[in-house]
Amino acid sequence: MSNHLTIVNACIVTPQGRTARKGKEMNELLTIPCGTVEVTDGIITYVGESRPCDGEATDHEVLDAKGKVLLPGFVDSHTHLVFGGFRPDEFIWRLNGESYMSIMQRGGGIANTVSATRRCSFDELKEKAERFIDTMSRMGVTTVEGKSGYGLNRDTELKQLEVMQAINRSPHRKVDISTTFLGAHALPAEYKGRSDEYIDFLIKEMLPLVRQKQLAEHCDIFCEEGVFTVEQSRRLLKAAQEAGFGAKIHADEIVSFGGAELAGELKALSADHLLHASDEGIRSMAENNVVATLLPLTAFTLREPYARGREMIDRGCAVALATDLNPGSCCSGSIPLTFALACIYMKLTVAEAITALTLNGAAAIGRAERIGSIEQGKQGDFVLLDADTPNFLPYYTGMNAVQVTIKEGRILK
Ligand code: NIG
Ligand code: FE
């Protein structure tokens, strides 16, 4: 038996297309002030103006949107949502003036979470990730990217990825998780002074294993002064692309380091953070269709300057927004605050921010053909706002304007 959902009287607001929207295109949204959407077996089968007969068929579940705004489900395309422990002390040390990198260099930071994650059981990690997912789902997220990177050894990296795949297999899941192998998140203590050997281990042992087990779609690296070099990043990401992974990169987060340029050279799916991306890096991302993924919550919590979002769009980039939810630099998955910071401080328009959190987020994880806009043939993932204008997204600052989230035609409670 097939499942139907019909949403009537919705103010449909959506980007359009099956690829990232670049530059000026990011501001172009389709608006249908009184629209109907039909979903059959999880896929959108009709989008258009509401007709008098819409919603009358008795075998359809009908949702009357009463004129409120219906958007594509949000795509949070950069998170580290599977991890053990928390690091609230480090947050306070940073408030007192210590830097993110100095905490990392004296053995805290990512290494702290690695120890906690290695100790956690599969079930503990899964339950914790599911609690985050519940919260994110209530804020309208229907697809989330999740990275490994808190194992830094064979078994724990696999455990993190397997947790995400187990969540994906649940028929009642609230989000789909797009998984990324981030074995190169930091150098594990076991490889101190031997970072090239660690990259060799990732290339020779981990990439083939992760591929063979089909545990991750993408490969990412923390390319940063004091972590992994541009050359090491190039070597790992090239090998990953050859093995069939999409390439992503933590680029220019703490200093300007050439990460954005490398992303352009490799035609990576995305370069993320970009607080200190150079002009040349921005040009290279625009030219090579790399999605510039901006994470304003991280800049906010680290008290760093925001990435140059306005300029990136004006120079023709496709910009995505994501939360970076993680236990260290940014322990927040707040979509409402992400919207507010993007519009207030990075000077994106509301339409651009919507494109960035939907279609461009989808493109950043290679899923723009399936999700990210309200169009026939795409997955029936939506957010219904408790508002009749999308301007509520930044205006209702840091508060949740979502009335209901719909995943593949299922109204989530
Ligand atoms: O995206 N910069 C590297 N990775 C994360 C932080 C990870 C952590 O501190 O645990 C980030 O900011
Ligand atoms: Fe990150």
pLDDT in tens, 110-149: 999 999 999 999 999 999 999 999 999 999 999 999 999 9
Q: Does the beta carbon of 328 sit less than 6 angstroms from any atom of ligand 1?
A: yes
What pLDDT score does 57 carry?
A: 65
Long-range CB contact pairs, 235-239, < 8 A, 24+: 235/199, 235/203, 236/184, 236/199, 236/202, 236/203, 237/262, 237/266, 237/268, 238/266, 239/203, 239/207
What pLDDT score does 46 carry?
A: 97
56 pLDDT higher than 80 = no
58 pLDDT higher than 90 = no
Question: Which residue CA neighbors atom 6 of ligand 1 most closely?
Answer: 329
Nearest ligand 1 atom, CA 78: 1
Using 50, 70 and 90 to split pLDDT, how confident is the model at 298? very high
Token pair, residue 212, equals 């063979």
Question: Which residue CA neighbors atom 1 of ligand 1 most closely?
Answer: 324
Ligand 1 centre to CA of 269 (Å) is 19
What pLDDT score does 1 carry?
A: 59
Ligand 2 centre to CA of 49 (Å) is 40
Q: Please compute the mean of the pLDDT values over residues 281-287 and round it to a whole number.
A: 98
Ligand nearest to the CA of 254: 1
Q: Please compute the mean of the pLDDT values over residues 53-78 and round it to a whole number.
A: 91
Tens digit of pLDDT for each residue in 235-264? 999 999 999 999 999 999 999 999 999 999
64 pLDDT higher than 80 = yes
What pLDDT score does 51 carry?
A: 87
Contact 213, 361 (CB under 8 A): no
Cα 198 from Cα 211, distance rounded (Å): 18
Question: Which residue CA neighbors atom 5 of ligand 1 most closely?
Answer: 329
Nearest ligand 1 atom, CA 113: 10
What pLDDT score does 2 carry?
A: 72
Ligand 2 centre to CA of 67 (Å) is 37
Cα 264 from Cα 351, distance rounded (Å): 26
Question: Which residue CA neighbors atom 7 of ligand 1 most closely?
Answer: 328
Ligand 1 centre to CA of 327 (Å) is 8
Which of 160, 222, 331 for a ligand 1 pocket mutation test, highest count of atoms within 8 Å of Cβ?
Answer: 222
Using 50, 70 and 90 to split pLDDT, how confident is the model at 221? very high
Q: Does the beta carbon of 110 sit less than 6 angstroms from any atom of ligand 1?
A: yes
Tens digit of pLDDT for each residue in 356-385? 999 999 999 999 999 999 999 999 999 999
Ligand 1 centre to CA of 82 (Å) is 13
Q: Please compute the mean of the pLDDT values over residues 290-309 and round it to a whole number.
A: 98
266 pLDDT higher than 80 = yes
Nearest ligand 1 atom, CA 224: 2
Torsion of CA 265, 271, 277, 282, to 10 degrees: 60
Burial of 52 (0-12, 13-18, 19+ CB in 10 A): exposed
Q: Please compute the mean of the pLDDT values over residues 409-413 and round it to a whole number.
A: 95
234 pLDDT higher than 80 = yes
Share of residues in the chain with pLDDT > 90 (%): 95
Question: Which residue CA neighbors atom 12 of ligand 1 most closely?
Answer: 329
What pLDDT score does 350 carry?
A: 98
What pLDDT score does 114 carry?
A: 98
